[in-house]
Chains A and B, each alone.
Chain A
């Protein structure tokens, strides 16, 4: 009511009071916060508590250091293992590559010779068997005949066609001209065929002429397919079956019908075959 009567003076002191109150409020809250913060600072702690904190920290540091040490050891071990692993990997990869090349799974290139036989030659498949054999003996490292890679299972044969007999390699017909490619030391390979009394001389008596050429680089393709084994298994054979007769067994026992009881070790060889 008084407010209504005297507006101006009241407003003035009210403003002042408000400002002072505001200031006080800010100060109070600041004070409270400072104290809160301070209570958490190390400086505000009691010496005993500081000692406890220090000790705990020491323990913590020790634990962490142990952990780091353990991890570093693991890392070193893993790194060593991984280097060893990489070494093993590259070794396995290298021997695999060599084997793949030698077994005809990969195409190969290198110096060597080509032997060309034209269609007018009275060639028999056994002549090819002889020639391939001779080339292996002369140090050939890889061979192909009309781009059929010669592998461990490659076989030659012949078959009757409509009007003639044709030569086959791995069951596939060989067409003339027949070109044999062999990678190896070219001079050695050529000598292996053309030494006096060798295959070249021998073939000539039958009217077969071989056109041999040396090359600084030949490319020999990979085998088309290598079939997986169906009969052969890796490893030593199973031990031979136990002897049919066991002298220790009473004759009556062999005729005894199986009564369901466990067979004695004595009679085992008799029941197992």
Chain B
């Protein structure tokens, strides 16, 4: 009997505590929901929650933008590297194509009509004035010899000789790159002055002109300056062919 009563008391006490706890829990929950629903606080809370959502979106956006910017930056660096290397090659190509002014050591060859010889021979019956003037071929062949001597840049009366240059005459007038020339013809070449001097002075054309008493001279130069080629390279028919074609 006593035992039974004792545990009943225990249970009762425990039940009471439990009941109180449940009540407390309930009141708290009610208070919370009531508090949230109360006017100003509720509005503030919803505004805050909205703001929080917005900032979250913004933060995501920033992250995404930074990623994109990094990618763009990397791509641009690559482009810049490529453009620098291309520009370097272009610079070299432009110099090879005579599109830039150049300077360096070399020679100057001056050719002029044989006026004195012409005057002296004028009264002779077999006088031919053509024998006393410089012809397009003289310049053309001399330029070929200068090329044989390894010239890196050549100009005739300041017209740069390029791959497609033609040296021709129309009547008595010589044209280089279709530009009219007048004597004296000053042919300048940049390269090894020793080799240029040796090859040209011993070459057929120079020797021939000297032999024919033309006032020609060859001067070694420590530095000469040649202008850029002012023309262009037309490629209306030529297209790039695949590598390895022959």
Interface residues of chain A, those whose CB is within 8 Å of chain B, are 6, 9-10, 13, 16-17, 20-21, 23-24, 27-28, 30-31, 34-35, 38, 41-45, 47, 50-51, 53-54, 57-58, 60-61, 64-65, 67-68, 71-72, 74-75, 78-79, 81-82, 85-86, 88-89, 92-93, 95-112, 126, 129-130, 133-134, 136-137, 139-142, 147, 150-157, 183-185, 219-222, 226, 229-238
Q: What are some 19 contacts across the A-B interface (CB < 8 A)? A: A30-B25, A47-B41, A61-B51, A78-B76, A82-B75, A82-B76, A86-B79, A92-B86, A99-B90, A99-B94, A103-B233, A152-B162, A155-B147, A230-B192, A231-B106, A232-B104, A232-B191, A234-B95, A235-B101
Q: Which of B48, B94, B242 has a CB less than 8 Å from the CB of A57? A: B48
Residues of A contacting B47 in the complex (Cβ-Cβ under 8 angstroms)? 54
- Asked if residues B237 and A111 are in contact (CB atoms below 8 Å), the reply is yes
Q: Is the interface of B mostly helix, strand, loop or mixed?
A: helix
Closest Cβ of chain A: how far from B244's Cβ, in Å?
A: 8
Best-surrounded residue of B48, B94, B137 (most CB of chain A within 10 A)? B48
- Within 8 Å of chain A (Cβ to Cβ): is B202? no
A156, B166: Cα distance in complex, Å: 15
A150, B93: Cα distance in complex, Å: 16
- Asked if residues A231 and B18 are in contact (CB atoms below 8 Å), the reply is no
Q: Which of A23, A137, A152 has a CB less than 8 Å from the CB of B96? A: A152
- Asked if residues B233 and A99 are in contact (CB atoms below 8 Å), the reply is yes
Encode contact with A along B58-84: 1 for CB under 8 Å, 0 otherwise. 110110011011001101100110110
- Within 8 Å of chain A (Cβ to Cβ): is B98? yes
New A-B contacts (9) at CB < 8 Å, excluding given A9-B3, A126-B144? A35-B28, A54-B47, A67-B62, A85-B80, A92-B87, A98-B233, A152-B163, A236-B225, A237-B224
A88 and B167 in contact (CB under 8 A), knowing A71-B66, A147-B246, A152-B96? no
- Asked if residues B32 and A102 are in contact (CB atoms below 8 Å), the reply is no
Residues of B contacting A141 in the complex (Cβ-Cβ under 8 angstroms)? 164, 233-238
A237, B103: Cα distance in complex, Å: 5
- Within 8 Å of chain A (Cβ to Cβ): is B173? no
- Asked if residues A96 and B25 are in contact (CB atoms below 8 Å), the reply is no
- Asked if residues A233 and B239 are in contact (CB atoms below 8 Å), the reply is no
- Asked if residues A102 and B83 are in contact (CB atoms below 8 Å), the reply is no
- Within 8 Å of chain A (Cβ to Cβ): is B89? yes
List residues 155-190 of chain B with CB under 8 A from any CB of chain A: 161-168, 190
- Asked if residues B245 and A221 are in contact (CB atoms below 8 Å), the reply is yes
A230 and B147 in contact (CB under 8 A), knowing A75-B69, A101-B235, A126-B141? no
Q: Which of B51, B161, B165, B246 has a CB less than 8 Å from the CB of A58? A: B51
- Asked if residues B239 and A108 are in contact (CB atoms below 8 Å), the reply is yes
Closest Cβ of chain A: how far from B155's Cβ, in Å?
A: 11
- Within 8 Å of chain A (Cβ to Cβ): is B148? yes
Q: Which of B103, B151, B153, B240 has a CB less than 8 Å from the CB of A235? A: B103
- Within 8 Å of chain A (Cβ to Cβ): is B213? no
Q: Which residue of A lies closest to B84 (CB)?
A: A92
Q: Which of A43, A67, A82, A142 has a CB less than 8 Å from the CB of B35? A: A43
Q: Which of A47, A111, A229, A233 has a CB less than 8 Å from the CB of B44? A: A47
Q: Which of A60, A130, A219 has a CB less than 8 Å from the CB of B245? A: A219
The stretch of B9-17, B112-120, B124-132 that contacts the partner chain: B9-17
A74, B68: Cα distance in complex, Å: 10
The 9 closest A-B pairs by CB, nearest first: A155-B147, A13-B7, A237-B225, A43-B36, A102-B233, A137-B166, A237-B103, A109-B241, A64-B58
